[in-house]
């Protein structure tokens, strides 16, 4: 089948690269190439329905996604975008590539902040689109202020801040099911009181979940050996058991 204004080779590029995420076929070109070919196809008078039919697509959603991303993403990052199914993913760290989904979230950030966010996620090897989404949401909540604090918060969430951490599995349903009825904030507040009595090093944050707990210290190292840490973990479990 043909599309006005496009060669068979260009149609093949579109067929091979767009909408094939679930097919197991590796993408051969970058999304920006696909975007330009789609733009060429539309400019040549082809309708969305005609293009979708030739590409054997049931939906035209991917047309809009390509258009939105490259209309809103700064030019410097266009060639950095790759499909998740691309062989180029192996070069992601070396070349600073971001996947199509990450680019989708990045393109929704104000343009003057996009490069800073891109450099941050690339430097720290943060590849998940949900992490970029979290950055965008935090930027919006903070009205695009306190960027460095937002970056620090993301590093804290992912454990990439070099702070010393102690964590282990716990089953609150067995150990103390009363704590399950509390909110996360209430539970963490009680857990912080417990940890502050057990550890002398300054604590940055704590989290007590249903099946796992974590203690984050302000420093990279604490003045405890592994033997003492193991003893402290036993104290933690006993203290959790006795919490009211």
For residue 159, pLDDT over 80 is answered with: no
For residue 221, pLDDT over 90 is answered with: no
Q: What are the tokens at 166?
A: 């102690």
Do the Cβ atoms of 77 and 103 come closer than 8 Å? Answer: yes
Do the Cβ atoms of 202 and 217 come closer than 8 Å? Answer: yes
Residue 117's pLDDT is: 97
Residue 72's pLDDT is: 98
Residue at token pair 């009680």: 190
Average pLDDT over residues 57-71: 94
Residue 20's pLDDT is: 62
Span of 15-19, 68-72, 77-81, 186-190 with lowest mean pLDDT: 15-19
pLDDT exceeding 90 applies to what percent of the chain?
57
Domain 8-158 has CATH 3.40.50.261: no
Q: Cβ neighbours of residue 84 under 8 Å, at least 6 residues apart?
A: 21, 99, 100, 101
Q: Cβ neighbours of residue 62 under 8 Å, at least 6 residues apart?
A: 18, 19
For residue 160, pLDDT over 90 is answered with: no
For residue 21, pLDDT over 60 is answered with: no
Residue 156's pLDDT is: 77
pLDDT confidence bin for 209, thresholds 50/70/90: confident
> Domain residue spans in the chain?
8-158, 165-242
Query: pLDDT tens for residues 40-54?
Result: 999 999 999 999 999
The whole-angstrom separation of Cα 179 and Cα 243 is: 8
Span of 4-8, 77-81, 90-94 with lowest mean pLDDT: 90-94
Do the Cβ atoms of 153 and 138 come closer than 8 Å? Answer: yes
The whole-angstrom separation of Cα 205 and Cα 244 is: 21
Q: Tell me if the pTM is above 0.75.
A: no
For residue 22, pLDDT over 60 is answered with: no
Report DSSP letters for the chain, one per residue: ---TT--HHHHHHHHHHSS-TTTTPPP-S-HHHHHHHHHHHHHTT--HHHHHHHTT-S--HHHHHHHHHHHHS-GGGGGGEE-TT-GGGGGHHHHT-EEHHHHHHHTTS-HHHHHHHHHHHHHTT---HHHHHHHHHHHHHTTT--HHHHHHHHHHHHT-S---EEEEE--HHHH-GGGGGS-HHHHHHHHHHHHHHH--SPEEEEEE-SSEEEEEESSS--S--HHHHHHHHHHHHHHHHH--
Residue 64's pLDDT is: 94
Residue at token pair 């857990």: 191
Query: pLDDT tens for residues 126-137?
Result: 998 988 998 999
Residue 35's pLDDT is: 97
For residue 116, pLDDT over 60 is answered with: yes
């Amino acid at each position: 089948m043909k599309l006005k204004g496009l060669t068979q080779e260009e149609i093949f590029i579109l067929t091979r690269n767009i909408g094939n995420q679930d097919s197991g076929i590796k993408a051969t070109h970058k999304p920006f190439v696909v975007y330009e070919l789609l733009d060429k196809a539309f400019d040549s008078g082809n309708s969305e329905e005609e293009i979708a039919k030739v590409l054997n697509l049931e939906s035209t959603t991917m047309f809009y996604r390509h258009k939105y991303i490259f209309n809103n993403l700064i030019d410097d990052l266009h060639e950095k975008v790759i499909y998740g199914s691309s062989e180029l993913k192996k070069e992601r760290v070396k070349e600073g590539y971001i996947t199509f989904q990450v680019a989708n979230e990045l393109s929704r950030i104000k343009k003057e902040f996009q490069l800073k966010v891109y450099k941050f996620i690339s430097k720290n090897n943060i590849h998940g689109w949900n992490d970029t989404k979290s950055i965008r949401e935090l930027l919006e909540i903070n009205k695009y202020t306190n960027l460095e604090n937002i970056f620090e918060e993301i590093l804290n969430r992912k454990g990439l801040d070099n702070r010393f951490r102690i964590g282990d599995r716990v089953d609150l349903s067995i150990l103390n099911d009363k704590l399950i009825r509390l909110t996360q904030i209430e539970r963490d507040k009680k857990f912080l009181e417990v940890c502050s009595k057990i550890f002398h090093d300054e604590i940055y944050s704590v989290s007590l979940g249903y099946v796992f707990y974590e203690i984050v210290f302000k420093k990279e190292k604490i003045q405890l050996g592994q033997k003492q840490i193991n003893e402290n973990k036993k104290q933690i479990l006993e203290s959790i058991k006795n919490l009211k």
